[in-house]
Structure 1
């Protein structure tokens, strides 16, 4: 890590940052000459910081604040090490960190540690998940009273239409996307295909499959930070919020995963289209935990505006082969790449918690040998299905009490997230929808 800074003497300052429960980067700015201390000794800030609400405020009744003296955690660098921050004007390095107790134990309220704990369960069985995510986001001109599509830097015109798979829409913002891919190369984020989507100024970029789920989550977290920062350099906003425009589809964050055994074989592949018993067990685990995990997939007030029938966001608990109306889709194609696509989450999620929730649910099902119901056919919105919670408070309550969730997340993370979301729920009731959009536009 130290060698990176010595090879980049132009970097004068660094940022050390960890993800809080909302996926917000919390940390400090440090002169680069003091970077060795941050690497060797770690940095410190209160454990309560990883549970702040969306405004960055303490949780009023959290036991982490006054009850315990608001004590510090020790934050150490992740294996990712230093990387550039191409969206800033001055050469700057980012050092991702995660939180530990004073005695070296991982802090259970850290979302990155939540994912690590799930991966330990796979490792104990000689299994390795392979993950990839598809991230949808909007480019937005938020300089006026109403949100609108930014004018194209090429033509100066605004295209007020959703343009699915339109090369013209991509080309209108070619300079931004060129800079984005260059920045991904600098940060070693494996950005793959970009497409235009159905919403106003909406795009999707896929990140490549990775057999290190922690790194896959890091990539998604860093990518969201990069896209938002770089868009501002280009004179507009980028947002992963679930539903900025009432009359257009919202943004999702779909996750694909398969599982390898100790010899590198895909345990979902039986040589045919249907997949193995283990695939069905994993699907069953995902379905069983889906209602209780809704708060992870839809963590904000605005999230539930996306989750309505017929909006390309699943509302029913279901699975199917090659069917994008279902919550769980088994894509067709080469049997060696047989995988599960989890389609429920919005773009506004915390990637660490999302991947932990999905992989944790799958390993629950694998451990239990659980069996799913029959896969559906046709339009899932027209079927009589168990429903995913359709409002924020129902999702909060379900997350707090669900036994499948309790097998995935540490009790302190469940407690902290519930307290955080109940505080946000209380204060969001005082705001108009447009005021809520203003808050979520830059944060999530």
Structure 2
């Protein structure tokens, strides 16, 4: 599907009466404005403005205490301009509405370093400077949830009127139970030009996974994941239940992950991980080593919330040991089997609650660091990673914050402003989350992440 220029999209969709302009904050929350269509041309031509601090709010949408972006600098505005994505419909709303993704710049045109989309752009630019292009695919897991009562449960099937209280891995019946929702979801993805591929049922209650097709534009892949999360949550509400990407809504069942597959093309379009056989090239191993080395320091990106750490337990489909392997889903870094031309890395650590822009920046940035430094990884493991004595990822929010704060590797990937803003955000959230019961925490995360 060809993306129309914003002005052409508005002319081609006269039924649209209002638009939303939205940018991602550090938590992946859409921040923006509602604009009548008759004034949309001003946003398209001149951009819009809101405070720089709006991309650095906590999970409740509150300012960060003592942030230099707020009172210290007069809560100054940034200028937000349309991304190359252009307009798209918002099929989960009853009134025809257009969504225009935007990102933040300074008054003089410089990218705002606190914008997570610019963080990923900076990593992609480093690849481009070396004549390299990442090819990325994202797999997203989520739950369909009835949150109308005192406790969370699987929604009633619109087809049968029954509530199936069991995990159903790869169950066609589970997919068919919510057939109309998935039909509407795929239609909406088509309308929004989100390349949704296979859907499966997963190991949790009412849990599903949808894969997004691989593409050689990492920014667009992150856009797709960000927009997909927005779409799934909005569409589920229009069907009478909730959808959530929170890491662990049910204590006794597996949580939701967000896995990313990536390879790297050279200037001639050749996959630099492909050696013609199953093992892959030296560069593949260097990229793996970069990812493994950066794992402990990156956990604040891969597990950004209090609930994230409930998912990271052994023997529960979430990697906790720092290791890699061929065709082994217990390892943090997996090299899938298949045709050598498609040789790639699967990064399996992150939860579904991540910010896709920061997530891809952390993964691709770590891989590039390994490639640049020609780092060698340890030997690949065999068997269950959970049964081996492996170094472990941080298993508490506090430890992840400390690792992120003290990391030289993180400083090679992210701008100092973004690092500081994220640290201030997570320390504030950790302070106030400690005052809430687990149920109150779930209520916060259910609709946000």
Which residues in structure 2 correspond to 1:404-443 (within 5 Å)?
Answer: 404-443=409-448
Which residues in structure 2 correspond to 1:361-372 (within 5 Å)?
Answer: 361-372=366-377
Can you list the C-alpha shifts for 1:109-130, whole angstroms capped at 9, x where unaligned?
Answer: 1000000000011001100000
Other-structure match for 2:20:
15
CA distance in 1, matches of 2:108, 2:386: 51
CA distance in 2, matches of 1:129, 1:192: 20
1:68 aligns with 2:49: no
Other-structure match for 2:244:
239
SS at 2:73 equivalent: coil
Off by >2 Å, runs of 4+ in structure 1: none
Q: Which moved more, 1:218-227 or 1:372-381?
A: 372-381
SS at 2:136 equivalent: strand
1:337 aligns with 2:342: yes
Can you list the C-alpha shifts for 1:178-214, whole angstroms capped at 9, x where unaligned?
Answer: 0000000000000000000000000000000010000
SS at 1:326 equivalent: coil
1:133 aligns with 2:116: no
**Displacement after TM superposition at 1:382 (Å):** 1.3
CA distance in 1, matches of 2:27, 2:291: 22
**Displacement after TM superposition at 1:278 (Å):** 0.4
Other-structure match for 1:278:
283
**Displacement after TM superposition at 1:30 (Å):** 0.4
Other-structure match for 2:322:
317
Other-structure match for 2:215:
210
Q: Root-mean-square deviation (CA), in Å?
A: 0.4
1:150 aligns with 2:170: no
SS at 2:226 equivalent: helix
Other-structure match for 2:97:
92
Flag structure 1 segments of 5+ consecutive residues without an equivalent: none
Which residues in structure 2 correspond to 1:50-129 (within 5 Å)?
Answer: 50-129=55-134
**Displacement after TM superposition at 1:384 (Å):** 1.3
1:159 aligns with 2:154: no
What TM-score results when the alignment is normalised by the length of structure 2?
A: 0.99
CA distance in 2, matches of 1:309, 1:3: 52
CA distance in 2, matches of 1:115, 1:401: 21
**Displacement after TM superposition at 1:401 (Å):** 1.3
CA distance in 1, matches of 2:371, 2:125: 14
**Displacement after TM superposition at 1:57 (Å):** 0.1
Can you list the C-alpha shifts for 1:384-421, whole angstroms capped at 9, x where unaligned?
Answer: 11110000011011111111111000000000000000
Other-structure match for 1:301:
306
CA distance in 2, matches of 1:409, 1:386: 25
SS at 1:258 equivalent: strand
**Displacement after TM superposition at 1:226 (Å):** 0.1
CA distance in 1, matches of 2:282, 2:409: 20
SS at 1:129 equivalent: strand
CA distance in 2, matches of 1:260, 1:354: 20
CA distance in 1, matches of 2:68, 2:394: 28
SS at 1:396 equivalent: helix
1:265 aligns with 2:270: yes
Can you list the C-alpha shifts for 1:53-74, whole angstroms capped at 9, x where unaligned?
Answer: 0000000111111111110010
CA distance in 1, matches of 2:297, 2:52: 26
**Displacement after TM superposition at 1:383 (Å):** 1.0
* Aligned positions, number: 444
**Displacement after TM superposition at 1:171 (Å):** 0.2
CA distance in 1, matches of 2:151, 2:61: 25
CA distance in 2, matches of 1:37, 1:282: 44
CA distance in 2, matches of 1:171, 1:188: 24
Which residue among 382, 403, 407 is the counterpart of 1:377?
A: 382
SS at 1:408 equivalent: coil
CA distance in 2, matches of 1:389, 1:74: 37
SS at 1:30 equivalent: strand
Other-structure match for 1:5:
10
CA distance in 2, matches of 1:114, 1:197: 32
Which residues in structure 2 correspond to 1:393-408 (within 5 Å)?
Answer: 393-408=398-413
SS at 1:26 equivalent: strand
What TM-score results when the alignment is normalised by the length of structure 1?
A: 1.00
Other-structure match for 1:289:
294
CA distance in 2, matches of 1:79, 1:143: 39
CA distance in 1, matches of 2:404, 2:252: 29
